Structure 1
Amino acid sequence: MTDLDAQDAKLVTLARASMARIGASHGAAVRDADGRSYAAAPVALTCMRIGALDLAVAQAVSAGATGLEAAAIVTTKDDAQVSLASVREVGGPGLPVYVANPQGEVIQVLTT
C-alpha cells in the first residue's frame, strides 16, 4: 500500500465517490496544474462509451486546464487495464496515476 499526501488521497476519495454514485465498475479523478480536481464515472450509451479516466481528463480540458499533476482510478477489477493516453497527452511524462481498490487502498502506481 502506498501512503498518499492529502491532495492525492483526495483524488482517490473523489474517484471512489464517482464510482459509488452510479454503481459503476470504476471511477476516476484528476488534478490539474492549478490544483483543481475533476471526477468522473464511465459513460456507456448506445452511441458511445467513455472510460472514467478519459472523461475526467476531458472535463479538466473543457474547464481550461493546460496540464495535470496527478490522476487516480478506483476499480473493482484486480487486473484493470488502464489507458493513460489522455493523461499523458495533457499531463506529459512522469505523471503518477494511482490505481486503488474500492476500499481506497492504492494497489499500484502507474506513471505516464
Structure 2
Amino acid sequence: MREPKRNKIQSHYTALSKNYGGSIDYVNFQFYAYDSSTSVSEIMNYFNAQESRCSGAKVLASFVMGGSGGLSPANGFFLACRKLIDSGKLHGIFVWCADTSQSNDFQYEKQCRLSS
C-alpha cells in the first residue's frame, strides 16, 4: 500500500517541478502526505529524491498538527530535520496549521526554532 501512495505523491512534485521549476523558490515537502508508519530513513530518502527534482528550489519539511499522517514530531520528525540540517539540506520547517497549534501554545513551532 505504501508504494502506490509514495508514487502518487512524488508524481505531483515531479509535474510541478517540470512545468514550473524555474519559477519556484521554495517547495513545501509535505511529510504528512505519507503514511503515518513512514520511518525517518524513508522520509530522508523521499526528501533527497525530491530535492534532486526541484531545479534549485529550497525544500522545506512539514508536518501536520493532529498527526493525521506522515512522520510526526512524536515519531521522529525532528530527528529527520536534525539530519537534514546537519547535511545542509533543510531550508525551513512548515507546520500545518496555526489554528491547531495555538491550542498547545505553539509547542512544535518553538521546538522548530530550537532545532535550527
Both proteins in one fold, TM over 0.5: no
Judging by fraction of residues, say which structure has more helix. Answer: 2
Structure index of larger Rg: 2
Structure (1/2) with the larger strand percentage: 1
Compute the TM-score of the two structures, normalised by the length of structure 1: 0.38
TM-score scaled by structure 2?
0.37
